[in-house]
């Protein structure tokens, strides 16, 4: 689920239903940018598993 001041989107709008691929990609892109920002600001460090 993704929400901002302008919209509210769910990747799985129907419980146990198919994914909304467009919303899923948008959320993944946002997450990747946010995590990259944290890495660049050195607030987060990658660790090997």
Whether 16 maps to a domain, the answer reads: yes
pTM, two decimals, is: 0.59
Q: Which residue would you say has higher pLDDT here, 29 or 35?
A: 29
Residue carrying structure tokens 């929400």: 3
Question: For residue 42, what pLDDT band results from cuts at 50, 70 and 90?
Answer: confident
The residue segments making up the domain with residue 17 are 2-40
Whether 48 maps to a domain, the answer reads: no
| Alpha helices (H) in 1-49, listed in sequence order | 21-40
Query: What is residue 2's predicted lDDT score, i.e. its pLDDT?
Result: 56
The total number of structural domains in the chain stands at 1
Which positions ≥6 away from 13 have C-beta within 8 Å?
20
Whether 46 maps to a domain, the answer reads: no
């Amino acid at each position: 689920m993704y929400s901002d001041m302008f919209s509210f989107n769910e990747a799985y709008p129907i419980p146990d239903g198919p994914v909304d691929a467009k919303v899923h990609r948008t959320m993944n892109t946002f997450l990747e940018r946010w995590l990259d920002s944290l890495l660049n600001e050195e607030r987060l460090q990658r660790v090997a598993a």
